[in-house]
């Protein structure tokens, strides 16, 4: 199953998109995130990807009230990333109705916490790997570590993470296509993990290419907000691939 997952990035209670993670290069696409969530569900989405941009900088969830409103607005699962760095953050997120929580900065800086989170919440914990030139970025992409993205993926897989969201920062918000070589390397590095691509998807061809190289899904953002990609048509097209096999 290949999932096409719409993204809702939250900043100051609004749905925005950044360019290459730069907070100073934000475009506001709406001040009604729950309404946007309903729109993507009506287009056929089976899951939503929400990012608390303010939380990623602050080091703790900053917009759980908005996240809870999104969860209440739809009947499909919602996953959240951004500032999830302590057990109480996870508890609050799941209490708000999240299906999955994405650990990014914590995956690099606090292996013991990741272990505790997996022990308690199992497959609800998703690894978030955001890479700049192959190295993992943290704290809302403000800092770049010396940790290799593929090495981190293998480590998370050993720890029991079953899903990873992999973002190539250089492609994020650029509408120039995903980094297929990097995605293929990531998929090969962790064959027992579902790898979801993020960053750069600009059209249907990008989604098909990601599906063909073995990604479990793709997060789509700017392309569906600008109209460059029609979400409903993309989901329908991918569902028709592979001789009628169900892809979504």
Rounded Cα gap, residues 35 and 208, in angstroms: 28
- Residue 20 banded pLDDT, cuts 50, 70, 90: low
pTM as predicted: 0.91
Q: What is the pLDDT of residue 241?
A: 81
Active site residues: 9, 130
- Residue 217 banded pLDDT, cuts 50, 70, 90: very high
Average pLDDT, the chain: 90
- In sequence order, the 6+-apart residues with CB closer than 8 A to the CB of 67 are 10, 50, 52, 61, 78, 80, 93, 96, 98
182-210 pLDDT per residue, tens: 999 999 999 999 999 998 899 999 999 99
* pLDDT of residue 101 exceeding 60: yes
144-167 pLDDT per residue, tens: 778 999 999 999 999 999 999 999
Q: What is the pLDDT of residue 26?
A: 72
* pLDDT of residue 246 exceeding 50: no
44-64 pLDDT per residue, tens: 999 999 999 999 888 899 999
- Residue 248 banded pLDDT, cuts 50, 70, 90: very low
* pLDDT of residue 171 exceeding 70: no
Superfamily of domain 3-241: Aldolase class I (3.20.20.70)
Q: In the chain, what are the domain boundaries?
A: 3-241
Rounded Cα gap, residues 195 and 235, in angstroms: 18
């Amino acid at each position: 199953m290949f999932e096409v997952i719409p993204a809702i990035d939250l900043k100051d209670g609004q749905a925005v998109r950044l360019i290459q993670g730069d907070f100073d290069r934000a475009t506001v696409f709406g001040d009604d995130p729950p309404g946007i969530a309903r729109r993507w569900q009506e287009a056929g989405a089976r899951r939503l990807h929400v990012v608390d941009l303010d939380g990623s900088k602050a080091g703790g969830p900053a917009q759980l009230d908005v996240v809870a409103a999104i969860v209440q607005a739809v009947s499909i699962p919602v996953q959240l990333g951004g500032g999830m760095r302590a057990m109480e953050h996870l508890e609050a997120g799941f209490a708000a109705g999240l299906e999955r929580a994405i650990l990014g900065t914590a995956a690099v800086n606090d292996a013991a916490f990741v272990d505790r989170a997996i022990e308690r919440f199992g497959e609800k914990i998703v690894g978030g790997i955001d890479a700049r030139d192959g190295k993992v970025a943290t704290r809302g992409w403000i800092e770049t570590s010396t940790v290799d993205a593929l090495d981190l993926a293998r480590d998370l897989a050993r720890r029991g993470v079953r899903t990873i969201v992999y973002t190539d920062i250089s492609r994020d918000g650029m509408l120039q296509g995903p980094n297929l070589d990097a995605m293929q390397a990531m998929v090969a590095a962790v064959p027992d993990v579902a790898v979801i691509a993020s960053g750069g998807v600009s059209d249907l061809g990008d989604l098909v290419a990601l599906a063909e190289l073995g990604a479990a899904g793709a997060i789509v953002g700017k392309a569906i907000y600008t109209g460059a990609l029609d979400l409903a048509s993309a989901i329908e097209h991918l569902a028709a691939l592979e001789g009628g096999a169900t892809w979504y």
